[in-house]
Amino acid sequence: MYLIAGLGNPGGEYEHTRHNAGFDVVDALADELGCRYWKTEGGALTARGAWRGEDVVLAKPQSYMNTSGGPVKTLMKTYGVDADHLIVIHDELDIDPGTIRVKFGGGHAGHNGLRSIGDKLGTRDWYRVRVGIGRPPGRKPVVDWVLSQPKKDDLEAFQHAVALGSDAVRFLVEHGLEKTQQKYN
């Protein structure tokens, strides 16, 4: 079984913002896998499904980005999922918009959701699907950038990256990290 956790912030004011890329990818996965029933458990919205014979739990932590680690840890314990079967999807400033990168392990690069998960789990070794959002233009503060919705060309790139993220997660579950990196990185 895999736990696939998309990071974001709950609430209508955050819907489809750059920082909620993880939520958007999980929603796309739910559509692809035919998951229609969401429930609240362990501090997250969850849906169960399967892909190529593997059971999956889709999760959108509802505790806000900076405290995502609590719900992720609770769900891992509930479902008996080890860190090597955890896939976390998140926005990434240092990757160009419209692109994604997949990796296993690593630091948090200042991303508070990743920091929270690492702190709660006591390890940094889990899969990451990083959705590129790029750096803000000019002197725009990072917080304003990540909490805004992409417009026009940026919106097309964002939606493309969300679709790629959904594809990459399914490919990762089926084919493993090396083949996924060869195809998507």
Please state, rounded to an integer, the average pLDDT across all residues of the chain: 96
How many residues are there in the chain? 185
Tell me, what's the pLDDT at 30?
97
pLDDT of residue 177: 97
pLDDT reading at 185 higher than 90: yes
Burial 141-172 (b: 16+ CB within 10 A, else e): eeeebbbeebeeebeebbeebbebbbbbbbbb
Reply yes or no on whether the pLDDT at 152 is more than 90.
no
Among the listed residues 19, 85, 90, 111, the single catalytic one is 19
pLDDT at 76: 98
pLDDT at position 153 is 83
pLDDT digits (tens, 9 = 90+) for 36-59: 999 999 999 999 999 999 999 999
Confidence of residue 108 (pLDDT cuts 50, 70, 90): confident
Whether 19 is catalytic: yes
